[in-house]
Amino acid sequence: MSTKQVSTAKLTAIWRLMQDGKLRTCSQAADEIGMLRTTASSAMAILHEDGEVHIADWTKLLTGGVVAVYKFGKGEDVPRPSSNPKKQAENKRRAKERAESEQRRVERERIAAFVPFRDPLTAAFYGEYQRAV
């Protein structure tokens, strides 16, 4: 994971904040210290790579995504939960609608191309079939 450069002072500030043992997301840590969320996220990633913090939990967002919750100290990372089942169901529903839409389009084209048969006597009497306008 590539992270942006973080000053030693900001990295130390995040490290000291996390030493109290509370569980925090990057946004919560940024709010408590008063720094940008992206900076806190980069600092947390550096601390995570160095083994100073670990992912203790994942929090679900209202948008359907998940955010890592960090805890100070060495520990085993909790695996990231699977993707949003609502989103998977929505994607499946949309694929089904696209397939049904394609079937309806093909059926419309088939009907539009159909020319009904007129027996020769009817054709001589009324003329060849013409589609209504």
Q: What is the pLDDT of residues 24-49, one digit of tens each?
A: 999 999 999 999 999 999 999 999 99
Q: How many domains does the chain have?
A: 2
Q: The whole model's pTM is what?
A: 0.60
In the predicted model, what is the mean pLDDT of residues 48-63? 91
Q: Are residues 68 and 89 in the same domain?
A: no
Residue 81 · residue 66 · CB < 8 Å: yes
In the predicted model, what is the mean pLDDT of residues 46-63? 91
pLDDT tens string 82-91:
766 777 888 8
Q: Which domain holds residue 16?
A: 8-72
Question: For residue 104, how many C-alpha atoms fall within 13 Å in the half-sphere facing its CB?
Answer: 6
Which residue type occupies 121?
L
Asked whether residue 77 is domain-assigned, the answer is no
Residue 55 · residue 40 · CB < 8 Å: no
